[in-house]
Amino acid sequence: MAASAAISFSNGDTVAIKFYYYYLGSESTVNGNVTSGITAPAVSTLWVVTSIGTGWHIKNLQTGKYLTRSGNSLQVGTTATVWTIYAGDRLRDGTRGITCDFSGVWALKNNGGDILSIDKYTKAHTTTVERSLVLSPASMTFPMSASSQEFTPTATTTTTAHYYYTCGTPGTDIQLASESTTVTNAEPVSYELTSSYTGFSLTNLVNRNATVNATKNTTTGSKTATLTATSTFPDGIVVTAQAAITQSSATFIHKRGASGRALQPNGMQSVHTLNEVVYMKAGTTRILGLPVPTGGGYQRQYYRWYDYDTDLDAGAALTHTTTYNYMQAQIGTYGDFMIHGYDPGITSYTMPSTFVKKRMAVDVSRNTDYVASNTFTEPTLSYRVIYDIRNASEMATALSSCSGDTFLEEYTIVAPTGTTISIGPKYKYTGEGNNYFVNASDPTLITTPQWKAGSTVITNPTVIDSRLIQPPVITTPQTVVYTLTANSRNIARFTVIYKDLATVGPVRETSGKAIITNDELDERYTLVAKRTFDYTDGGTGNYYPNPLPWDEVTYGFDYRTSIRYGAATTDWGEYNLMRTTTGCDMSGWLYSGVENRGGCC
Amino acid sequence: MGGAANGYFFYVDASERPSKVADLKIDGDLCPGTTIYFSAWVADLATSGNRANLNFKVSGVRGGVEEDISMFTTGVMQVVGAWSQMFFDLQLNEERYDEYRLRIINNGASASGNDFAIDDIRVYISKPPTMSFQAILACVAKEDEIVAVLRADYDNPAYAWSVGNEEATFYYQWQDEYGNVLNLNYLNEMTSSYGQIKLTHGLTIEQLAAKYGADYVYTSLQEYLGTASFYVYIYSGSTLANGGFSFAVYGAN
């Protein structure tokens, strides 16, 4: 700003009036007197000068009020006062100039114009264009479970006209009002997802939106990624936007277990698995039975009940008659846990009012090699039970056509004479676990099941485990057909071919022979397969250290190592591979002297 | 005794619930309709409580779906504390499966007792009986005279060479007494080590000749068509050495 050594106003000039460091402004008044200063030019310090004869009206640009004099004080008022600019540099009213006494009080002074400066401002305007690309949400934190999030881009072009007063070069600008116009753009958007973690993926690039998918995070570290969107605006300018992505860490960790074998493709520990089929109606509740539901074998084990399809807690769908709350705060989202407690109780599943095909599961372990801190790493599992829950109407539909000579299940069984045998259909047909339904439109459990041997009804047979009966012993070779029917539907037919016990066995070995020797077998027939369990990589101990292939056994493997809870021996629902019962730690309940068929020790 | 010395047996402490214990793969290829023979040893080990009661179920797996074929049940075991043998046979049905399995099912009623061991499971199929005839001494045979006939019979001719009446292909090979492959593929004049002939169930000799060419078909095959036997005629010739020969059929599609 230039000093006002030679000030000349023109009609309509907009000026800033400055005394020393202080600008004269409309708001710098106390009780109507100009008493304090403003150190920076602003709209309120701009005055519009209007020619009135040899003088001028000085009107504030912002308020429209006038600069006036009252005695020795300057005032701002609504009444115009004519001020005069002489050839010198004084802004005067009559013979008086104005000045400031450094104390913030404005006063009139004949020669006060020496410290006066007047800056002229001119009005100007500019136009700016802003391009914006924004993703919504701007950031996302995925839970540790598998999930997805759609991101929506918004592209806008904002054109803004800025109005201002400016003085000098470089200019001192005083901003006035701005006017903006915003237009939403619809140009294509491309995406890039960058992360060192392969669990994130980008899919569904539909309607300019992007979906980021996160697989389940099974590690204790959180994962991060950046989603970058790029769009070329109509004027050719390329604009990008980013969204920060994180995924929470896992608090429940699967591990390979003592076998060292790979995890399942779904990230779970691989283990022997029993698959149970459970037929249910919508809106009903059913028990999911454990393989060892009663007795001592179920105690002191680790249990985890969960939704097999999500590997997470099933919520209220699974209920228990005892408490499952181990580390609930840390790992409750992964299922219902009990560890080395007592009775696991009875677990039930409740189907919603609309049927949904589900798979529930329980992992069971008698091992102690878990790690519990803020997170929980599971122990080596003994076995897993997967309950494949199907719609009862499927069973009812299948049974609906089973009449006359058609049976839902057909069995041909070779059995030794003189022996008590057990026969039964695939599933339980009575009690809590009854899996047989009729009436597909509104399934109901079968009632009044009836067994026959040939055409003879077997009256009130003893039913074992709601599934098996033991028909009268047959002592001579013959074929007997047993049938199970209910509700005029044929459930199962058993064609039992009784053969002489001496020819089919089981026959005790005497002098190296029972029914036929291996040499005789090799001579008469062609060997296509054999299983002798004679592994050579098991060391010298009595027990083989590795489980059989996972899909070949449904029982739990006893690793015979220190990971066993309470150093337990092979228990109910478990197996091992051993050389001899002689001297083994189960001699209390096993006959000794039974050795590997090929010889032992 | 079966298996290797100092090996192991499969010991099971059965659960209370009757259910599948093991589901062992049978690695061998089994043809539909084949009679198979199972031998297995089981020992009821529990000194008290319930006796073991096992089912041995043969199943086929096709497209991931397992179908039952046949089953043997031990019933409630009467021999305890020692190995006893089971030996049973069954004829596979007409279905062809991707793999076969032997499922062992605990039929016991309680976990009390019910400890058992299983070992030395063997699966056999019938051997195709073979017959050989010597028609004339090779050293005195005239060219193109039959000197010997080998014949292989199958248990079930319907599946020995043809499935579902579809075309079947046999591969055969000539060997001398030392097992050396001889290039004597007189039936089809092929130069590779293995001969090949395609046979279609129900075709006449004339139809076979029209389809594959006269060189593939000899009137002697008429003895084969519609029967359970496979005849191979060995003709004398300048390259035919003295001594014995063997003929192998390598399977059918």
ipTM for this model? 0.72
**Cα(A44)–Cα(A24) distance, rounded to whole angstroms?**
9
Tell me which H or E stretch contains A501. Answer: helix A501-504
Would you call A552 and B25 a contact, using CB atoms and an 8 Å cutoff? Answer: yes
Q: Which residue of B has its CA nearest to A298?
A: B15
Q: How far is B19 from chain A (nearest CA, A)?
A: 8
Which candidate, A475, A469, A485, places its Cα nearest to that of B107?
Answer: A469
Give the model confidence (pLDDT) of A537-548 as tens digits: 999 899 999 999
Q: What is the mean pLDDT of residues A410-415?
A: 94
Is residue A526 within 8 angstroms of chain B, CB to CB? yes
Task: Tell whether B50 lies on the interface with A, counting CB pairs under 8 A.
Answer: no
The answer to whether the Cβ–Cβ distance between B73 and A424 falls below 8 Å is no
CA distance A515 to chain B (A): 7
Residue A300 pLDDT level (bands cut at 50, 70, 90): confident
pLDDT for the residue numbered A270 = 97
pLDDT band at A161 (very low <50, low <70, confident <90, very high): very high
A424 contacts in B (CB within 8 Å)?
A: 18
| B3/A412 CB distance under 8 A | no
* Residue A36 burial (CB count, 10 A): 16
For residues A432 and A467, what is the distance between their CA atoms, to the nearest angstrom?
Answer: 11
Instruction: Give residue B4's pLDDT.
Output: 63
**What's the gap in Å between the CA of B251 and the closest CA on chain A?**
14
Q: Mean pLDDT over all residues of chain B? A: 65
pLDDT at position A442 over 80? yes
CB nearest to A504's CB, from B1, B2, B87: B87
This prediction has a pTM of 0.70
B17 in contact with A, Cβ within 8 Å: yes
Query: Which domains can be identified in chain A, with CATH numbers?
Result: 14-110 (2.80.10.50), 124-247 (2.60.40), 273-385 (no CATH), 401-501 (2.60.40.10)
Listed in sequence order, the residues at least 6 apart from A319 whose beta carbon sits closer than 8 Å to its beta carbon are: A285, A347, A348, A350
CA A85 distance to own-chain centroid: 78
In A, which residues are within 8 Å of B73 by CB distance?
A: 413-415, 421-423
Lowest mean pLDDT among A255-259, A498-502, A539-543, B64-68: B64-68
Question: SS in 3 state form for A177-242?
Answer: EEEEEEEEECCCEEEEEECCCCCEEEEEEECCEEEEEECCCCCCCCEEEEEEEEEECCCCCEEEEE
How far is the C-alpha of A1 from the C-alpha of A118, rounded, in Å? Answer: 8
- Checking if the pLDDT of B251 tops 60, the result is no
What number is the average pLDDT over the span B157-167? 39
Quick one: average pLDDT of B31-41? 83
Pick from B1, B24, B76: CB nearest A599: B1
CB-nearest to B84 from A423, A514, A534 is: A514
Tokens 């839970």 -> residue: A143
Q: Which domains does chain B have, with CATH numbers?
A: 10-125 (2.60.120.260), 130-252 (no CATH)
Beta pairing, strands A223-232 & A209-214:
unpaired
| Whether B238 contacts chain A with CB within 8 A | no
Residue B222 has pLDDT above 70, yes or no: no
Whether pLDDT at B229 is above 70? no
- Number of residue pairs across A and B with CB atoms under 8 Å? 302
Report chain A residues whose CB lies below 8 A from the CB of B124.
521, 524-528
Of B7, B25, B81, the CB nearest to A532: B7
Query: What confidence score (pLDDT) does residue B90 get?
Result: 82
For residues A295-323, give the mean pLDDT.
89
Touching check for A577 and chain B: CB below 8 Å? yes
Cβ-based contacts of B53 with chain A (< 8 Å):
420-422
Q: Is the pLDDT of residue B244 over 60?
A: no
Give residue-wise pLDDT tens across range A329-369: 999 999 999 998 888 999 999 999 999 999 999 999 999 99
Highest mean pLDDT among A96-105, A395-404, B21-30: A395-404
Residues of chain A in contact with residue B11, where contact means CB-CB under 8 angstroms, are 570, 575-578, 581
Residue A79 contacts by C-beta under 8 Å, 6 or more apart in sequence? A66, A68
Model pLDDT, residue A446? 97
Q: Sheet holding A189-194: strands in order across?
A: A139-142, A238-247, A223-232, A189-194
Rounded to the nearest 5°, which phi and psi values hold at A327?
Answer: 50, 45
Residue position matching structure tokens 């031990």: B74
Minimal CA separation from B6 to chain A, in Å = 4
Mean pLDDT to the nearest integer, A256-264: 96
* Residue A291 scores a pLDDT above 50: yes
Q: Is A576 on the interface with B (CB under 8 A)?
A: yes
Nearest to A509 among B70, B85, B117 (CB): B85
B42 and A506: CB-CB below 8 Å?
yes
For chain A, give me the number of helices (H) and strands (E)?
Answer: 4, 43
pLDDT in tens, A34-63: 766 688 889 989 999 998 887 889 999 999
Highest-confidence segment of A64-78, A203-217, B68-82, B160-174:
B68-82
Predicted local confidence at residue B202, as pLDDT: 45
Mean pLDDT over B158-178 rounds to 45
Residue pair B199/B252 in contact by the 8 Å Cβ criterion:
no
A414 and chain B in contact, CB less than 8 A: yes
Is A579 in Cβ contact with B16 (below 8 Å)? no
Whether B17 sits inside 8 A of A293 (CB atoms) is yes
Q: Give the length of chain A.
A: 601
Residues of A in contact with B115 (CB under 8 A): 589-590
Q: Which amino acid is at B8?
A: Y
List the single residue in B5, B11, B15 with the smallest CB-CB distance to A578: B11
The backbone torsions φ and ψ at residue A118, rounded to the nearest 5 degrees and listed phi first, read: -125, 125
Q: Which residue has the higher pLDDT, A168 or B18?
A: A168
Instruction: Give how far A556 is from chain B: nearest CA, Å.
Output: 10
Nearest CA in chain A to B103: A552
Asked if A475 reaches chain B (Cβ–Cβ under 8 Å), the answer is no
Q: What is the pLDDT of residues A76-104, one digit of tens each?
A: 888 888 888 776 556 777 666 665 555 55
Do B85 and A516 count as a contact with CB atoms less than 8 A apart?
Answer: yes
Instruction: Return the bridge partners of B68, or none.
Output: B59
Where residue A170 falls among pLDDT bands split at 50, 70, 90? confident
d(CA A421, CA B162): 39
DSSP A474-492: P-SSEEEEEEEEETTEEEE
pLDDT higher than threshold 90 for residue B187: no
- CB contacts, 8 Å: B111 with chain A: 292, 295, 297, 572-573
A116 or A146, higher pLDDT: A146
Residue with tokens 């096709």: B62
- Cβ–Cβ contact B18 with A under 8 A: yes
Whether the CB of A480 is below 8 Å from some CB of chain B: the reply is no
User: Quick check: A597 and B39 CB within 8 A?
Assistant: no
- What band does A559 get if pLDDT is binned at 50, 70 and 90? very high
- Give the whole-number percent of chain B exceeding pLDDT 90: 17
The pLDDT of residue A473 is: 96
Give the integer Cα–Cα distance in Å for A499 and A477: 5
Which residues on chain B are in Cβ contact (under 8 Å) with A518?
A: 1-2, 39, 120, 122
- Give the closest of A274, A576, A589 to B19, CB-based: A274
Question: How many Å apart are CA B163 and CA A134, to the nearest integer?
Answer: 66
Please say if the pLDDT value at position A211 is more than 50.
yes
